[in-house]
Amino acid sequence: MKQSFYFQLPDWLVNTLDGISSGPLNDQAQMRLAIKLSQTNTEQGGGPFAALVVNRADNIIVAAGVNLVTSRNLSCAHAEMVAISMAQQNLDCYRLSDKGDFQLVSSCEPCAMCFGAIPWSGVSRVLCGAGKADAEAVGFDEGPKPQDWEAALEHRGIEVVTGLLRIEAAQVLASYADSRGEVY
């Protein structure tokens, strides 16, 4: 039986992040990067999702994640879960709000699992590209989530922005399905 568990980012992602300017990125630039990472992840054999955790004080990326479900055989390795976990490890805390004000930028609206993790992650804002309907249209099972999930997060003090560059983000999902990528 294995005695350790961790998310290991793909080498291509680490190299991509190393090549990004260390300057601040606005919301649209952050989402464009998440969409680009989701597309690249599909080209590298992963799922069509990516996420970033960004420090809101300076708009600097503190962590990134891509969907590692099929490439690492981990059903919980959704892009948001990977990005949040990496941010917590990078900042040495289990609640990001202990270290500042952070936002989660996701190429797609969170599924039921990722929605459940967001309040405990310590992020104060969530930006979403594609929607649940876009993911389900190509066959992904997003799981049961409250219909008013945005209001539920906002009730907890977490701002939610949906549909940011939705068409571009949804295109990655559609291209993945067209290429017969594994839908789980």
The residues annotated as belonging to the active site are: 80
Tell me which residue of 9, 89, 23 sits closest to 61, measured CA to CA. Answer: 23
Q: Three-state SS for 79?
A: helix
Tokens, residue 92: 């040495």
Closest CA to 106 of 54, 67, 49: 49
H/E segment holding residue 108: strand 102-108
Task: Name the nearest CA neighbour of 166 among 124, 106, 78.
Answer: 106
Smallest CA-to-CA distance from 169 within 34, 8, 11, 56 is with: 34
3-state class (DSSP) for residue 62: strand
The backbone torsions φ and ψ at residue 9, rounded to the nearest 5 degrees and listed phi first, read -70, 145
